[in-house]
Structure 1
Amino acid sequence: DGVSKCFGFVAFDNPTSAVNAVNEMNGKEVDDQSLYVTRAQKKSDRQRELKRQYEQLKSERYSQCHGVNLFIKNLDDFIDDDRIRKEFSQFGTITSAKVMMEDGRSKGFGFVCYTSSEEATKAVTEMNGRMIASKPLYVALAQRKEDRKAYLASQYYQRYRMQQNIPYGPPNLPYVLPTISHGSRFYNTINHIRAAPRWASAAPIRPNGTYAASCPFRVIAGKFGISCFSN
């Protein structure tokens, strides 16, 4: 339709010239546009290479900001970059302050990066929970998505282990005894009952045929056993 697709191809007669062109022209500004120049590749290879470059850039940025970059959320819609820079500048030198936007509107969170971990730690201590405009801020050290998932999984596992070690259930629920096999339960009970002699508590017989009680009760032998009566 006569409209440029914003990409094209250049073929050289030797590999050396192509390599030199990539080194010289990649990233060069042309008409306020930064050119992306690389060896022509299949779409899958190109996507894989772009992903590798993106991950490398992200890792470099993370290493530069690790321990000094703060994540701030619960921001009012009208708070912009200048406002959060002003609020957090009292704790140290800020290298960047950014409120994340979408379609020109605040997404309610942003980032502030300091030059040292001491400054960042002080800002977290002082600003977390502080009221800015109409909302209390949530302020913490920024984490990569992978690290945050690992941390949350670790916290969940620890809570699960603690719950497993608690012998009692929630309030107002009965305590459940550990499971015991039926055979061992009744067998042990019967053996325990049979262990004591049947007439271990019987008193000795006197010469006149009566029983001498060893307690303050009168013992009489009857048809169905021995009975005790109060003296």
Structure 2
Amino acid sequence: MWAETDSALRKSVIGNIIIKGLSRDINDLALSSTFSRFREILSNRVVCDSNGEPKGYGFIYYATLEAAELVIEKLDGSLLNGYLVSVCHFKTYKEHQAEQKSSSKPPQKKDFSLYVQNMPYSLSSEELGSLFSAFGEVTSATVITKKRRSMGYGFVTYSSLDDAVIATSVMNGYIVGNRPLRVAFSHSNTFLNGMLISSVNIAYFNMLIKTFYFSN
């Protein structure tokens, strides 16, 4: 729901935060009630699946970076309806790329792969795929093993860049078996060429605005 009609302000992502680990009982109204106590919000959305069931994460949009940072400081790592939640800035694909620029090679091929670390050793490849399939079509999910024992890390590949970006933002820091996952775009399997980066980013931002900012 929008309380601000300035289209230029809506298209900015400067005050956008993502909340991970939400109770499935939290809806848009409950999310708004909790986060509007600190600063006025422009919009909020709990992300749901095709059946209308909450996926356990959502977005809050503030007018300023200062407001977003205040809420992150106050609520990150706090309990909400008995669930430990993570509150952080939502990062776009470009921001993810900038963070990894020093250690990753220029993208070469279309392979939307994520590197997942700090997994529970009991997590299987099938369970890994099931966990990440909430965000889109997973084409492969592999837990790396040695002598049939998990090494605690693996790879998840999506057919869509949009799905991979959302999954990275939501699942990085997500608690599985008392272990916070570490999720990033794969360094070893570069996945986009220069021309595709520009075209996919345009599609991504259009999707982001339409899905999270203008839908009710």
TM range (shorter): 0.3 to 0.5
Higher helix share: 1
Higher strand share: 2
Query: Bigger relative contact order, structure 1 or 2, given CA contacts below 8 A and separation 6+?
Result: 2
**Normalised TM-score (structure 1):** 0.38
The structure that has the greater radius of gyration is 1
